[in-house]
Structure 1
Amino acid sequence: MTTIPDLFAASAARDAARPFLTYYDDATGERTELSYATIDNWVSKTANLLVDGAGLGPGGQVSVNLPPHWLTGVIMLGAWRAGAAIRHDDAATDAAFVDETLHTEAEADEVYAVALAPMAVGLRTESARAAAANGEVTDYLTEVRTHGDHYGGPRVSDDAPALVALPRGGDLSQAALVEAARERAAELGLNGGERVLIATDRPRPLDWLLAPLASAGGVVLCVNSGAVDLAKRAASENARTLTL
């Protein structure tokens, strides 16, 4: 288990039907729950989209400029399954993922606009639809559904770049990112298979995505939850509240 795809496969193998990521947006009332199996389908579709649709090969780079969201998790895991490195700045890349406000400038061969509204039904704003109609962006949710549920590409190498251009400088390989996820899980006291609730609008993917994955657990990710009784929600979700 020295790559993120290996880590996901090992964690999913314990019981693919159990929830991995439950997402609440208390501004919209959304609650979306995805099992390991469902996440796996979305991740494979995204990897196929990047390889077959955007033409990414080994060593390709993907920029992901999206807030914490279940689709953000799917996109990041899909990029790593395809062997791509992720960066979170505005540098030129092979593919870029931005929200449908299109406020983030993206210089990429292929720009995917991602609608983060409930129900995952595709672009809703007039500006994003117009940009898609003009070929300036591609509607991620519409396009990704046309790709296969199984990714048959080669195994990603341990030393392949996974995160590049980190804020403090340097890059992380697949193996180094797996190690960072395991270390963070230990720091947070995550036990094998535990479900945790995280309520903050800007948690790091290392905390809300990779550490729970490294512990073969699950996460209840809550945003815009200032007025919510989180203790009651954690109890209903059978999760431990995690303070970051």
Structure 2
Amino acid sequence: MTDERPAPAVRTVPAALAAAVAADPTRPLLTFYDDATGERTELSGATLSNWISKTANLLIDGCGLSPGDVAAVRLPAHWQTAAVLLGAWAAGLAIDPGSTSGSPATDAGTTAGGTADGRAADVAFVAADRVGGAPTSASDVFVLGLAPMAMPMRPAPPPGTVDYVAEVRGHGDHFAPRAPTNPTAPALGPATHEQVIATAADRASAAGIAPGDRVLIDADALPDPQDWLLTPLVAGATIVLVRHATTDGSVTERRIAAERVTRRLPAG
């Protein structure tokens, strides 16, 4: 029996993002909650695109990187992580998949010479509690404090590292790649763009996520960006990402109503 499911309409992550933003640049594309701090940050497609462009310009113009270089990302699921990942993909970089989730302990063994899959990392983005896990091969290490309202780090990051939020703001709001992203180029480790797009499309189909859905996602339960970022993005859905989610069911129900949530991941 042949697989009669239609192939995804896009084959790269930047193309999936462009399609999502083009549907309505003003709609909330990613809304982030942190129930431990009370933060709520809402980003339209246009606003998220600005952060992505700034990140891509930081990598190309600021760091002198080129398509095919590797970014090690040691960050939890967060709206700033979305900007870093999508910005790196826009710049043509591959992401080290062994460092996109989990606790600082999960990064053990990936620092000497590079990444979990053995390649040397050219740049690293690390949370403030994971600075020690940055690959030694990375020429530039950007630290993210993940503070509400994207405030700069206080105190400043350790010597030899740079505050991502403070640095990225100085770069341009628009980014034009030198060439379109190659669908067969690595995106997450050895997985190519077209492979991660296909995986995201399959997961969206299995979860019943359709264009226009508003998906509530538990960031701590689903720290893999393939789940919390790419699956809804490729499906044409928008994201409500919750970190440190409250166990108060009444708060969750009010949030579902206020955000007009139509799907939940994990299903609940």
Question: Would you call these one fold, judging by a TM-score over 0.5?
Answer: yes
Alignment RMSD: 1.4
Structure 2 CA distance for aligned equivalents of residues 130 and 36 of structure 1: 30
Identity value in percent: 44
1:8-41, CA deviations, whole angstroms, 9 ceiling, x for partnerless residues? 1111111010011111001100000001111111
Structure 1 stretches of 4+ with a deviation exceeding 4 A read: none
2:176 counterpart letter in structure 1: G
Correspondences of 1:47-62 after superposition (within 5 Å): 47-62=56-71
**Paired residue total:** 232
TM-aligned CA deviation for residue 200 of structure 1: 4.2
TM-aligned CA deviation for residue 103 of structure 1: 4.1
Structure 1 CA distance for aligned equivalents of residues 51 and 170 of structure 2: 11
Q: TM-score, normalised by structure 2?
A: 0.83
Structure 2 CA distance for aligned equivalents of residues 106 and 114 of structure 1: 16
Correspondences of 1:14-33 after superposition (within 5 Å): 14-33=23-42
- 1:230 partnered with 2:260: no
Aligned partner of 2:105 in structure 1 is none
Stretches of structure 2 that go unaligned for 5 or more consecutive residues are 1-9, 100-109
Equivalent of 2:229 in 201, 209, 215? 209
Secondary structure of the corresponding residue to residue 93 of structure 1: coil
TM-aligned CA deviation for residue 105 of structure 1: 3.4
Question: Contact 2:53/2:172 (CA < 8 Å) preserved in 1?
Answer: yes
Q: TM-score, normalised by structure 1?
A: 0.91
Question: Contact 1:163/1:172 (CA < 8 Å) preserved in 2?
Answer: yes
TM-aligned CA deviation for residue 57 of structure 1: 0.7
Structure 2 CA distance for aligned equivalents of residues 112 and 227 of structure 1: 33
Question: Contact 2:215/2:265 (CA < 8 Å) preserved in 1?
Answer: no
TM-aligned CA deviation for residue 188 of structure 1: 1.0
Correspondences of 1:63-212 after superposition (within 5 Å): 63-87=72-96, 88-89=98-99, 90=110, 91=115, 92-101=120-129, 102-107=131-136, 108-124=138-154, 126=155, 129=156, 131=158, 134=159, 136-153=160-177, 154-164=179-189, 171-203=190-222, 204-212=224-232
1:184-227, CA deviations, whole angstroms, 9 ceiling, x for partnerless residues? 11111101111011124141212211111111111111111233
Stretches of structure 1 that go unaligned for 5 or more consecutive residues are 165-170
Secondary structure of the corresponding residue to residue 49 of structure 1: helix
